Amino acid sequence: MPGKHVRFDGIPPTPVPSLPSLTNSSYSPSSVADLNTPPPLKYHGSPNACSPLPYVPSAIHDLLGVAQVGAPPIHCDLTLEPSLSTVGLNPKYHLHPHALYEPATTPPLGRMVIDCTHLLKPAWAMIEVWATNPNVGVTVMDVLHAIYRALRTGTTGDDFNALAYHDQKKVNDAYQRRVKLFRGDKAIERAKGVKRIDYLKEKHLFGGLVETKSGPDIWRLVLA
Residues 6+ apart with CB under 8 A from 34: 110, 134
pLDDT at 15: 45
Encode pLDDT of 143-172 as tens digits: 999 999 999 999 999 999 999 999 999 999
pLDDT in tens, 63-92: 999 887 767 788 899 999 988 667 888 887
What band does 191 get if pLDDT is binned at 50, 70 and 90?
very high
Residues 101-109, mean pLDDT to the nearest whole number? 96
Residue 120's region, left for phi above 0, alpha for psi from -120 to 50, else beta, is alpha
Q: Kindly report the pTM of this predicted structure.
A: 0.74
Tell me what pLDDT residue 204 has: 92
Taking the C-alpha atoms of residue 89 and residue 105, their distance in angstroms, rounded to an integer, is: 18
User: Does 212 map to a domain?
Assistant: yes
The CA-based dihedral angle spanning residues 73, 75, 76, 80, taken in that order and rounded to the nearest 10 degrees: -160
By residue range, what is the domain housing residue 150? Answer: 29-223
- What amino acid is encoded at 115 in this protein? D
Q: Is residue 15 part of a domain?
A: no
Give pLDDT, residue 68: 74
Q: Is the pLDDT of residue 48 over 70?
A: no
Contact 171, 198 (CB under 8 A): yes
The answer as to whether 20 is a domain residue is: no
Residue 83 lies in a domain: yes
Q: 114 in a domain, yes or no?
A: yes
In a domain, 17, yes or no: no
Is 165 contained in some domain?
Answer: yes
73 in a structural domain: yes
Which comes out higher in pLDDT, residue 80 or 138?
Answer: 138
Q: How confident is the model at residue 133 (pLDDT cuts 50, 70, 90)?
A: very high
Class of residue 165 by CB neighbours under 10 A (exposed 0-12, middle 13-18, buried 19+): exposed
Distance CA(5)–CA(173), nearest Å, equals 9
**pLDDT at residue 195 greater than cutoff 70:** yes
Of 198, 188, 206, 194, nearest to 146 by C-alpha is: 206
Q: How many domains does the chain have?
A: 1
Residue 175 and residue 224: Cα distance in Å, rounded?
17
